[in-house]
Amino acid sequence: MAEDKMAILEVRDVSLQVNSTLILNGLSMEFWAGYVQAVVGPNGAGKSTLASLIMGLPDYRQHTGDILFEGQSIKNLNVDQRARLGITLAWQEPARFEGLKVSQFILAAAKNKDKKEVDRVLDMVGLEPARYRSRDVDKTLSGGERKRIELASILAMKPRLVMLDEPDSGVDIEAIDRIFEAINRLKKAGTTVLLITHSPKVLEKADHAFLICHGTLVDKGVTSKIMEYFSGKCLPCPHQNVPEINSGAATGGKT
Amino acid sequence: MTEDLVGEILESVNLHRTFNKDTPHLIINANQVLSSHQVEGLIMEPEELPDGVRAKLRVKKGVKIGSPVHLCFGLLPERGVQHIIMDIEIEDEAEVSFMAHCTFPNAVDVEHRMEAQIKVGRQAKYSYFERHWHSDEGMVKVVPVARIELEEGAHFSTEFELLKGRVGLIDLDYRTTCQARSSAEMKARIFGRQDDRIQIREAAHLIGEGSRAALTTHIAVKNQARAEINNEIIAEAPYARGHVDCKEIIQDSGLARAVPVVEVRNSKAQVTHEAAIGSVDSKQLQTLMSRGLSEEEAVDLIVEGLLS
């Protein structure tokens, strides 16, 4: 791990309240350029909400505190403006696009609009280009396939910071290995990777992690330290096992 | 002069470089038959009328026409009426596919009416792809009406596409009667803008055992465009199966209405339907915007997918 930890993204005292329910509570975090970091915590802790809020999704804009990217506030920027700075998000459950070809979907995000780029990134995520480039990004693809195609589009986008929400959910063992390879590639390319997870296997891929619970930062540190959370040594926190907050669009659950 | 008109029509549908005169075809401008070419087993008898063309098309029993038959119906002047009357018979075990282009590139006030009687014989196959090319002025009125009879084991598919230029007014009415083990697939993909009006009525009557039908309509409307889709499947024979699929995306002040009618008169038949109308899916939109597309670019891509 490099010693010079330069913050690319700062979350400063961020709180989000929806219909009198506090979903994020005074969170402050720093994400370092070029590192793989993880945000872990139980269901309903606010992990996906944090990712949605950093991405600037419309239902998550009414927060207090600030988000800084390379020292500049991005609080007032829309999703696409943040994306053009180099921030992106891979959803836990990727969207389906009826009629949209895999190649169109990837090229829409790609920095390099050459059609060869489609094959290159499909190869990277272990999907045979000849079999996939002309398929629709719709229900004919499994969740795992769509997840890898979404990752391919992110590889083509070449972002500065990518948030991967539960990257291992709904994918088979071979696909998980491919996803981990892609994470390594992103890191080697200098991309900052933020893993949103409650999986120890995913957490292992991180250099550093944050543990949040009930919207509050409970602990942070090297991965081995946070890993203790998964071996039954959960640190004291006010978590009351409220996994789903059904209070409108901005819930503590998944987007 | 005639060759110039043929060239102009082909250019308006982007076929001027690739069109081969030896392929079976029928090219019409207004009420004038500009060019036609038959192949063995395909009989075309066009007759010019004061306001259009009546054409009999027949594919002889057992004949399989290898390449698509090109039909180009154009009205190049800014104003006028074109009335196309088609009498099509595909005899038993014959096979044919049509590639039809209807083009009104300069339309200011144009009406295009099409009346088709189509009979598809036993075990015969018929496919018809129809693409419309309109001007950006929107002053086109398109009224296609087709009555289709499918005999035992026949297969019929038709696809109507109107994505380029303004729709103007379209009032489409296709009705199919399906005998035993025959199948009908009807698709329409239309993009309405400004004050365009879209009315679609597709119907399949499944009267034969094991007959099948799928009616698919994908529409996008923006600005003040309106669309009304009335798709209907009636199944009255055992093991008849049908599905109605209607998806509409509305933007701005567009208005969309879908009325899927499914009626089953036999306990061994089944018909399903799905209809989704609304604005662009927010998750799709956010996904594309999180890749750096503007909202407008993302919407365009989503609509392009729906209508592809």
| Tokens describing residue A49 | 């909400």
CB A48 within 8 A of CB A92: yes
ipTM: 0.90
Maximal C-alpha separation, chain B: 61
B301 interfaces chain A, CB cutoff of 8 Å: yes
Residues of A with CB under 8 A from a CB of B: 55, 57-58, 78-80, 82-84, 87-89, 91, 94-101, 104, 108-109, 136, 150, 153-154, 157, 255
Q: CA of A103 to nearest chain B CA: how many angstroms apart? A: 12
How much is the pLDDT for B165?
A: 82
**A/B interface, count of CB pairs below 8 Å:** 75
The whole-number average pLDDT for the span B187-216 is: 96
DSSP B82-114: EEEEEEEEE-TT-EEEEEEEEEETT-SEEEEEE
How much is the pLDDT for A254?
A: 41
How much is the pLDDT for A233?
A: 57
How much is the pLDDT for A252?
A: 39
The residues in B 189-248 lying below 8 A from A, measured between CB atoms, are 218, 247
Each residue's pLDDT tens digit, A91-139: 999 999 989 999 999 999 999 999 899 999 999 999 999 999 999 999 8
Q: A80 vs B289: CB contact, 8 Å cut-off?
A: yes
- Closest Cα to residue A215, out of A248, A246, A240? A240
Q: CA of A177 to nearest chain B CA: how many angstroms apart? A: 24
The whole-number average pLDDT for the span A134-149 is: 92
Nearest CA in chain B to A87: B290
Q: CA of B257 to nearest chain A CA: how many angstroms apart? A: 20
Each residue's pLDDT tens digit, A162-171: 999 999 988 8
Bridge-based pairing of strands A64-69 and A7-18 is: antiparallel
CA distance B302 to B288: 9
Q: Which of A84, A87, A95 sits opposite B287 (nearest CB)?
A: A95
Q: A255 vs B283: CB contact, 8 Å cut-off?
A: yes
DSSP chain A: --S---EEEEEEEEEEEETTEEEEEEEEEEEETT-EEEEE--TTSSHHHHHHHHHT-GGG---EEEEEETTEE-TT--HHHHHHHTEEEE-SS---EEEEEHHHHHHHH-SS--THHHHHHHHHTT--HHHHTTSEESTTS-HHHHHHHHHHHHHHH--SEEEEESTTTT--HHHHHHHHHHHHHHHHTT-EEEEEES-HHHHTT-SEEEEEETTEEEEEEEHHHHHGGGGT-PPP----------SSSS-SS--
Q: Does residue A253 register a pLDDT over 90?
A: no
Q: Which of B290, B295, B307 sits opposite A89 (nearest CB)?
A: B290
B279 interfaces chain A, CB cutoff of 8 Å: no
Each residue's pLDDT tens digit, B242-268: 999 999 999 999 999 999 999 999 999
CA distance B197 to B223: 12
Where residue B133 falls among pLDDT bands split at 50, 70, 90?
A: confident
How much is the pLDDT for A18?
A: 86
Nearest CA in chain B to A152: B291
B67 interfaces chain A, CB cutoff of 8 Å: no
How much is the pLDDT for A247?
A: 36
Phi, psi values for residue B125, rounded to 5°: -125, 135
CA distance A32 to A209: 11
Provide, as residue numbers in chain A, all residues whose Cβ is less than 8 Å from the Cβ of B290. Answer: 55, 79-80, 82-83, 87-89
CA distances (Å), origin B28, targets B5, B71, B109, B267, B271 = 9, 8, 18, 48, 40
Provide, as residue numbers in chain A, all residues whose Cβ is less than 8 Å from the Cβ of B305. Answer: 97-100, 104, 136
Q: B292 vs A80: CB contact, 8 Å cut-off?
A: yes
Residue of B274, B291, B293, B308 to mutate, testing the A interface (most A Cβ within 10 Å of its Cβ): B291
The whole-number average pLDDT for the span A227-248 is: 54
Residue of A79, A85, A111 to mutate, testing the B interface (most B Cβ within 10 Å of its Cβ): A79
Provide, as residue numbers in chain B, all residues whose Cβ is less than 8 Å from the Cβ of A58. Answer: 282, 286
Provide, as residue numbers in chain B, all residues whose Cβ is less than 8 Å from the Cβ of A79. Answer: 286, 289-290
Each residue's pLDDT tens digit, A166-199: 999 888 887 888 899 999 999 999 999 999 998 8
Prediction pTM value: 0.82
B278 interfaces chain A, CB cutoff of 8 Å: no
Q: Which of A57, A79, A95 sits opposite B284 (nearest CB)?
A: A95
Where residue A238 falls among pLDDT bands split at 50, 70, 90?
A: low
